[in-house]
Structure 1
Amino acid sequence: MNHTPPLPTLPPAFQAWFAAKGWAPHPHQLEMLAAARAGRSALLIAPTGGGKTLAGFLASLVELAEDPRAGLHTLYISPLKALAVDIHRNLTAPIEEMGLAVTAETRTGDTPASKRQRQRRKPPHILLTTPESLALLLSYPDAGEIFAGLRCVVVDELHALAGTKRGELLALALARLGTLAPEARRVGLSATVAHPAALEAYLSKTGRAPAEDVTVVRGGEAAQAEVKILLPGGEKDEDRLPWSGHMGLYAIDRIYAAIQAHRTTLVFVNTRAQAELIFQALWHANEDHLPIALHHGSLAAEQRRKVEAVMAKGGLRAVVATSSLDLGIDWAAVDLVLQVGAPKGTSRLLQRIGRANHRLDEPSRALLVPANRFEVLECKAALDAMRAGELDGDPPRPGGLDVLAQHVLGTACAAPFDPADLYAEVITAAPYADLDRESFDAVVEFVRTGGYALKVYDRFQRIRPNADGRLEVADKRVAQSYRMNVGTIVEAVTVKVRMGRGRILGEIEEYFVQWLRPGDTFLFAGRLLTFQAMRENFVDCTPGGEGEPAVPAYMGGKLPLTTQLAHRVRGMLEDSASWPTLPGPVEEWLELQRWRSVLPRADSLLVETFPRADREYLVAYTFAGRNAHQTLGMLLTRRMERMGLGPLGFVATDYVIAVWSVKACEDVDALFDQDMLGDDLEEWMAESSLLKRTFRNVAVIAGLIERKLPGHEKTGRQVTFNADLIYDVLRKHQPDHILLQATQEDAARGLTDIRRLSDLLVGVQGKIVHRRLDRVSPLAVPILLEVGKEQVAGGAIEALMDDFAETLIEEAIGGDMQGSLQI
């Protein structure tokens, strides 16, 4: 017997609107309406093009049409300002076409102050905003009045927020709304969901799953996307598939031809630097003068909005973009997505492919452009995973204490609170569901006094008990400062490179410096420099240095290869039966590797060592992602120093790490012993500036360091200087301070990826396969080319690298086989 309740019937005006459009409501849209009428929250998982947005708003529009009322009815939360504006435009059309007496407005950081003030006095029925603007609204004394009549909160692209600090801030805001507007239901919209139970918990008013108050609705299947790998097809040298590199510039003519052949193309890349290079190369190739634009997060907001507006009108043939356009902007004219460089994850790839067509009945079309031979394997693995319906990504982490501290202060800005009541509310937010009372009280104490080591300073005493024993904001200045600094996005800081007696050579990202230790050499502005110290906002260095320059880590795309995709790539390397499905040059490359050495296996760690040019090289095929490999490189070089091997530097990709030294490592098992995650890790992190820089971000989010102050804004130098002083005080006098705990947790999960590195080292103990070779192996050529790129400076880099590549390839495959293979 079927116990599924019948789907509800739309009101006549809505039926007529659908009919006039030649549409019929999707079953999942009616299921969302049914859940709303039952007063239940709902998670909608539906492919792009399935009408998720209308499904999210449908119940609100019906309720407002059937029972007109004043005041705020529905909050829409978007991870992007641009998406909120786009959704507002799409929502306005049905409201106007049905003649509904419903008002809808956006509220973001770009909204004029006068309009924001009016929205508080007279809110629209539907307000489209961001997590930061919602946190700001909740900090006002009239928050209870603003949200008293709230009936629905719609969170778009929920998967993109859950598991991030912005998502943690939003979860706490939802918990606050649960108190202010207990009748409000919650709606989550998402196309790519790897961990549905986590999102169900996020929407639940209990913060846990399975959630009795959340209905999970699944949309129909979309047409299978048509995705192909774009590979070189000519016999010229420039048409060959590169052995290394991450930009994909070799394929620019084929990328341009694809743009010419389609109406509108989104060209996705992985980094802002890559976006600039691809865009510049396309303009050089643009003989037809096609309108092509650029869009990434470092561009001015006005320029980004201009691109979005022209694109919405169908005025562009292509946009080169980073993740700034990953999420949900509905440009119906887009009929092709190009991903230049490997996607790093199946879920991310699906999200980007979904930007094409926006229709369930038509397949999205996409081309993947691998930048090198390893990336061919990654693209193939991503396609296989996508066709198998496998999504990837880590489940959301527990909430950060720095974000909680910001929320505690924001709550006090609105009204005095009782800590016991606030704790009961906070643990209904999914990221904080398991937060113990002791940790919560420590956070409140930090907001109240700054903690034991800082309580003597009045500036850190931001809340205080009132006559009733409840905690309230200390003064108006604290509340004003909170509202100026709300949010969890901390911009990257640049630092100046200073040589000798104060000559400034230029600026580099602070991240560049985090991995350097005194005495390390590096290249900058065409010079070999020796790093001396990081002082305030300056990198002090001296000219020259001994030996080859060490290779520092770069911020890169901050998108490390997912564990699931890495596993598939390793599986392809191990399964020679799958090689014939790969491009000829890649298959031959793997055959050469099997002939010269062995292939990496999923159940072991292959380490190759070989001499080259008076240096000894160690190459490990670890497949743990770039962040974990950067940490591993630092730990390996420390251990090699103690072994007397004279390490000179290292370089890492998502797949491989290479270290070069004066002497060869003979005891590889000892080198990779997992005990390096103990004292070695602690000593390195204490010596490097990594923890200080991570602490700076934590301190800014927690409100200990204010970026903006009434009347002026602090410089990056001032913020860093203040954070460094406080960090040193806390380490000395209160090492268990909650912000130091938060710093350690962020460092372990983020740039150092210690969890993934730990899993790697534990898993390979007793399973290391060491191959001592007399020359570089074919599989090691790409990583050695990365070494070459790091050490070559100036305008002649391309010619020099071509020569270096030819030399390495000839060494790897040797004259005895070279004539019979396409390399």
Structure 2
Amino acid sequence: MSEIPAPITNWFAAKGWSIHPHQRAMFERAAAPATLLIAPTGGGKTMAGFLPSLADLADGNHQGLHTLYVSPLKALAADIKRNLRTPVEDIGLPIRIEDRTGDTSATQKKRQRADPPHILLTTPESLALLTSYEDAPHMFAGLRRVVVDEIHALAESKRGDQLMLALARLQTLCPDLRRVGLSATVEDPAEIARFLARHPDPCEILLADPGPDPDISMLDTAEMPPWSGGGAAYAVPAVLDQIRRHKTTLIFHNTRAQAEIFFHNLWLANDEGLPIGIHHGSLDRVQRERVEAAMVRGELRAVVCTGSLDLGIDWGDVDLVIQIGAPKNVKRLVQRIGRANHRYNAPSKALLVPANRFEVVECMAALEAVKAHELDGEPRGRGPRDVLCQHILIAACAGGFQADVLFAEMTTAGPYAALSRAEFDACLDFCATGGYALRAYDRWQRLLQRPDGRWQLRDPRSAQRIRQNIGTIQNTDTLKVRLRRNRGGKPLGEIEEGFAASLTPGDTFLIGGQIVRYEGMRDMTVEVTRRADRKPKIATFMGTKFATSTQLSARILNMFSQPDWPQLPGHTADWLALQRQISRLPEQGRLLIESFPHDGLEHVCFYGFAGRNAMQTLGLLLTKRMEEMGLNPLGFVATDYAILIWGLDALADPAPLFHIDSLRDGLDQWLAGNAVMKRTFRASATIAGLIERNQGGQRKTGRQATFSSDILYDTLLKYDPDHLMLGITREEAMRGLVDFGRIEELIARVGDRIDLVRLDRVTPLAAPLFLEVGKVPVKGSAEERLLAEESARLLSVAGVLG
């Protein structure tokens, strides 16, 4: 089709709009096997992705499913459905549009398989489930296009790996399938293009006009930020003032707990009663949808939120974004900034609010990166094998497979292009038998090979159990929170099981901006009453603490090398100048270590700038090495940029601490029986199908799942240490919670350029670390020595030794 149909162009003209150049370019490239469009938020990316589909379907001749739209968020799929129906209904196009997510009724899902709509909007999990049915070839028979929205977000997680395997399956069913990826924030377009395309086919990259630079700055506040902490309570009056001045403000936080605290403090200061909502993933779906609907109607002046609103829901009335706390990642900041002025060629307005003194520096580094159009991102690793195992089981549910054919199909998925046949065969053997140590148990004998070589389910009834456990999202185990005497009512939200276990009747905590009082547990539900007159505990919610990116850390170190800092507020510039006067500032390519006495103990501070997970791991490894060297460490605390260790003896020579082989050996010993490995094993084993969280419509509690996975882990470690799942677990731990790669990068970057500065007092840069929460004690010889010295002192005082 060479021209956009007249009814569509007439609709644009009637609206007073013109078709953007990148929208027309996408239409002209409709026949390309794969196209990646990078266009600014509000630039009509979605219409660009759907324009060829609307043109194809305008004549009403296509039967069945034509276009599949995949989004990382259910809310985004619903938003796109609402926005896409407007032109379809206005123009009178004969197109049926439906969504299919976890919220879709079972009746509608069944009907969609038999009679699919022309355009189906879904998520990676729902698509994987659809490919697991034997009638998938019927449902996808007429599929022409797949549109993957916010592809950068999917490419960063296992959900994206699962999606690419599902697209490989669809490409086998529909060889002429065209793929489209949409994003506003891509740091490496070529890499995302390789991720999207059918390997080894090329993917065209289309760059739209980026539009005007955002209007972004730091918020001026009357009060200085504190030395430590993440709540930014000091900025509440200034934030309220900005809410008054703007029509609608989104206030982003990095964690759900911080969002709850800030929302609570904002309400306490909100004397005018401005309508302000809260939105995050642990709140009940009904409450989230209520906030979303109120935003669409323009009834809210502000929403305190987390990553649940990072992606492209189209709320055009948002005219200000405020980021509370350092963004940790430039790409995430750009994504959030784009939520303001969600219109083409309109600059987004955003303000950054550092939560503490050090975050002032980090926020300034992020601002400079945004202005320089430099995004960050870690390089993608190979596709994880636990997702591959799940896909093998999905293929078995769909009627079985020939191993050679499935292997060839999987290697057309970008993340698995380098998959070896030996790796595939090991995963297939695991899916079929459970592996050497488990093959004697019937429950893990899941696949069998027929005489013709085709693999199929050993018991067809197991397909239902496998389908119930499809997905890669591993939420922290949570419990519903419900008002007492309202058991049939909607829950307020969820809290983590571990936090619930710490509560005793009478304790209060925040959820959904309300203070509630814990009354007890009934039927795995936390029962509460409303209580507004008590200071609440801080509930913990599932949700990741972001680590500062490598690129942003490098910018901070480069900033330290400047002779002065006119771009920083005076209090922060003075703080850095004092650090330089008393000690030194950390440098790129060198490792600064400070040693000083404080409060009767020796302290040593390592400025590694490797991100929170890596610095936490390095703290554990360094204290272990110091224990072996007789330095008697007592504990440590870690942040994104430094580790503070305290103990009984001063550090004289730091070089032996950083031998990479010794650190790696120490890591292996530490990981062997560590909770990190068991936690990682549970997540990967669930994805790979070894552990079933859902059985017969019932979900195991976190404790039940942990108990069974811990037994499995210990069994495999003892009897089959080379088991596939233990290898997968180690890979996942090393690049996830442990992040050893960032430690290796740090040591390679620094080499032997280690500067130990001995001082007689705490330094300005080290001072905030004394206020950090999450201190980790070290149990070892230092504790024994202190006990012996204290016993001797007490005996001496009592006259026993004298």
**Structure-2-length-normalised TM-score:** 0.88
- Which among 690, 696, 707 is matched to residue 721 of structure 1? 707
State the partner residue of 2:342: 358
* 1:397, distance to aligned residue in structure 2 (A): 1.6
* Structure 1 pair 468–511 and aligned structure 2 pair: CA distance change class (3 A): farther
* 1:672, distance to aligned residue in structure 2 (A): 2.8
Confirm or deny that 1:231 pairs with 2:231: no
Q: Take 2:648 and 2:244, find their aligned partners in 1: how far apart are those partners? A: 52
Q: Take 1:133 and 1:645, find their aligned partners in 2: how far apart are those partners? A: 55
Task: String of CA shifts for 1:700-727, please: whole Å, max 9, x gaps.
Answer: 0001100011153222122111111111
State the partner residue of 1:27: 21
* 1:231, distance to aligned residue in structure 2 (A): 3.2
* Structure 1 pair 45–447 and aligned structure 2 pair: CA distance change class (3 A): same
- Which among 748, 751, 758 is matched to residue 765 of structure 1? 751
Corresponding residue SS for 2:344: coil
Q: Take 1:789 and 1:421, find their aligned partners in 2: how far apart are those partners? A: 52
Q: Take 1:202 and 1:295, find their aligned partners in 2: how far apart are those partners? A: 31
Q: Take 1:788 and 1:716, find their aligned partners in 2: how far apart are those partners? A: 23
Corresponding residue SS for 1:186: strand
The aligned amino acid for 1:240 is M
State the partner residue of 2:644: 658
State the partner residue of 1:498: none
Corresponding residue SS for 2:328: coil
Tell me if the contact between 1:512 and 1:554 (Cα under 8 Å) persists in the aligned partners: no
State the partner residue of 2:104: 111
Confirm or deny that 1:614 pairs with 2:600: yes
Confirm or deny that 1:690 pairs with 2:639: no
Q: Take 2:589 and 2:165, find their aligned partners in 1: how far apart are those partners? A: 42
State the partner residue of 1:811: none
Q: Take 1:454 and 1:646, find their aligned partners in 2: how far apart are those partners? A: 43
The aligned amino acid for 2:172 is T
Q: Take 1:100 and 1:337, find their aligned partners in 2: how far apart are those partners? A: 37
Aligned residues: 727
* Structure 1 pair 556–122 and aligned structure 2 pair: CA distance change class (3 A): closer
- Which among 255, 274, 286 is matched to residue 271 of structure 1? 255
Confirm or deny that 1:699 pairs with 2:685: yes
Tell me if the contact between 1:401 and 1:739 (Cα under 8 Å) persists in the aligned partners: no
- Which among 309, 316, 341 is matched to residue 293 of structure 2? 309
Task: String of CA shifts for 1:591-647, please: whole Å, max 9, x gaps.
Answer: 111111111111211100101111111111111100000100111111111222221
* Structure 1 pair 138–8 and aligned structure 2 pair: CA distance change class (3 A): same
The aligned amino acid for 2:313 is I
Gaps of 5+ in 1: 1-6, 234-238, 496-506, 514-524, 527-536, 538-552, 792-823
- Which among 544, 547, 553 is matched to residue 566 of structure 1? 553
How much identity, in percent, do the aligned residues show? 54
- Which among 114, 135, 143 is matched to residue 121 of structure 1? 114
Task: String of CA shifts for 1:296-326, please: whole Å, max 9, x gaps.
Answer: 1111122112211211121211111111110
- Which among 781, 801, 823 is matched to residue 767 of structure 2? 781
Tell me if the contact between 1:35 and 1:41 (Cα under 8 Å) persists in the aligned partners: no
- Which among 457, 463, 485 is matched to residue 441 of structure 2? 457
Gaps of 5+ in 2: 480-494, 502-506, 509-523, 525-539, 778-802
1:595-634 equivalence runs, <5 A:
595-634=581-620
* 1:508, distance to aligned residue in structure 2 (A): 7.1
- Which among 392, 401, 404 is matched to residue 408 of structure 1? 392
The aligned amino acid for 1:119 is Q
* Structure 1 pair 240–511 and aligned structure 2 pair: CA distance change class (3 A): same
State the partner residue of 1:321: 305
State the partner residue of 1:347: 331
The aligned amino acid for 2:347 is P
State the partner residue of 2:426: 442
State the partner residue of 1:292: 276
Tell me if the contact between 2:37 and 2:45 (Cα under 8 Å) persists in the aligned partners: yes
Confirm or deny that 1:167 pairs with 2:167: no
* 1:66, distance to aligned residue in structure 2 (A): 3.3
Confirm or deny that 1:395 pairs with 2:379: yes
Corresponding residue SS for 1:294: strand
The aligned amino acid for 2:377 is G
* Structure 1 pair 350–151 and aligned structure 2 pair: CA distance change class (3 A): same
Q: Take 1:605 and 1:555, find their aligned partners in 2: how far apart are those partners? A: 34
* Structure 1 pair 203–413 and aligned structure 2 pair: CA distance change class (3 A): same
* 1:769, distance to aligned residue in structure 2 (A): 0.6
* 1:554, distance to aligned residue in structure 2 (A): 11
Tell me if the contact between 2:496 and 2:542 (Cα under 8 Å) persists in the aligned partners: no
- RMSD of Structure 2 on Structure 1 (CA): 2.1
Answer with 319-328 or 713-722: which moved more: 713-722
Confirm or deny that 1:187 pairs with 2:187: no
Q: Take 2:112 and 2:543, find their aligned partners in 1: how far apart are those partners? A: 41
Tell me if the contact between 1:243 and 1:372 (Cα under 8 Å) persists in the aligned partners: yes
Tell me if the contact between 1:221 and 1:360 (Cα under 8 Å) persists in the aligned partners: no
Q: Take 2:615 and 2:658, find their aligned partners in 1: how far apart are those partners? A: 13
* 1:39, distance to aligned residue in structure 2 (A): 4.3
* Structure 1 pair 10–408 and aligned structure 2 pair: CA distance change class (3 A): same
Tell me if the contact between 1:401 and 1:738 (Cα under 8 Å) persists in the aligned partners: no
Q: Take 1:790 and 1:48, find their aligned partners in 2: how far apart are those partners? A: 43
Tell me if the contact between 2:198 and 2:413 (Cα under 8 Å) persists in the aligned partners: yes
**Structure-1-length-normalised TM-score:** 0.86
* Structure 1 pair 566–727 and aligned structure 2 pair: CA distance change class (3 A): same
* 1:107, distance to aligned residue in structure 2 (A): 0.3
* Structure 1 pair 508–304 and aligned structure 2 pair: CA distance change class (3 A): closer
Tell me if the contact between 1:296 and 1:323 (Cα under 8 Å) persists in the aligned partners: yes
Q: Take 2:571 and 2:177, find their aligned partners in 1: how far apart are those partners? A: 58
Q: Take 1:106 and 1:776, find their aligned partners in 2: how far apart are those partners? A: 58
1:465-614 equivalence runs, <5 A:
465-493=449-477, 557-577=544-564, 579-614=565-600
* Structure 1 pair 556–777 and aligned structure 2 pair: CA distance change class (3 A): farther
Tell me if the contact between 2:43 and 2:345 (Cα under 8 Å) persists in the aligned partners: no
* 1:205, distance to aligned residue in structure 2 (A): 1.5
* Structure 1 pair 711–189 and aligned structure 2 pair: CA distance change class (3 A): closer
The aligned amino acid for 1:245 is G
Task: String of CA shifts for 1:639-687, please: whole Å, max 9, x gaps.
Answer: 1112222211111111111111122111222223323332211111113
Tell me if the contact between 2:225 and 2:232 (Cα under 8 Å) persists in the aligned partners: no
Corresponding residue SS for 1:110: coil
* Structure 1 pair 121–635 and aligned structure 2 pair: CA distance change class (3 A): same
Answer with 364-373 or 655-664: which moved more: 655-664
Q: Take 1:709 and 1:674, find their aligned partners in 2: how far apart are those partners? A: 45
Q: Take 1:147 and 1:583, find their aligned partners in 2: how far apart are those partners? A: 58
Answer with 746-755 or 391-400: which moved more: 391-400
Answer with 185-194 or 778-787: which moved more: 778-787
State the partner residue of 1:43: 36
Tell me if the contact between 1:268 and 1:323 (Cα under 8 Å) persists in the aligned partners: yes
Corresponding residue SS for 1:778: coil
State the partner residue of 2:8: 14
Q: Take 1:300 and 1:315, find their aligned partners in 2: how far apart are those partners? A: 20
* 1:163, distance to aligned residue in structure 2 (A): 3.1
State the partner residue of 2:45: 52
* Structure 1 pair 405–557 and aligned structure 2 pair: CA distance change class (3 A): closer
* 1:510, distance to aligned residue in structure 2 (A): 6.2
Q: Take 2:412 and 2:302, find their aligned partners in 1: how far apart are those partners? A: 44
Tell me if the contact between 1:492 and 1:510 (Cα under 8 Å) persists in the aligned partners: no
State the partner residue of 2:209: 220
Tell me if the contact between 1:68 and 1:101 (Cα under 8 Å) persists in the aligned partners: no
Tell me if the contact between 2:496 and 2:541 (Cα under 8 Å) persists in the aligned partners: no
Answer with 125-134 or 357-366: which moved more: 357-366
Q: Take 2:182 and 2:496, find their aligned partners in 1: how far apart are those partners? A: 39
* Structure 1 pair 176–554 and aligned structure 2 pair: CA distance change class (3 A): closer
State the partner residue of 2:483: none
Q: Take 2:447 and 2:204, find their aligned partners in 1: how far apart are those partners? A: 39
Q: Take 2:40 and 2:93, find their aligned partners in 1: how far apart are those partners? A: 28
Corresponding residue SS for 1:565: helix
State the partner residue of 2:352: 368
State the partner residue of 2:406: 422
The aligned amino acid for 2:205 is V
The aligned amino acid for 1:158 is I
The aligned amino acid for 2:3 is T
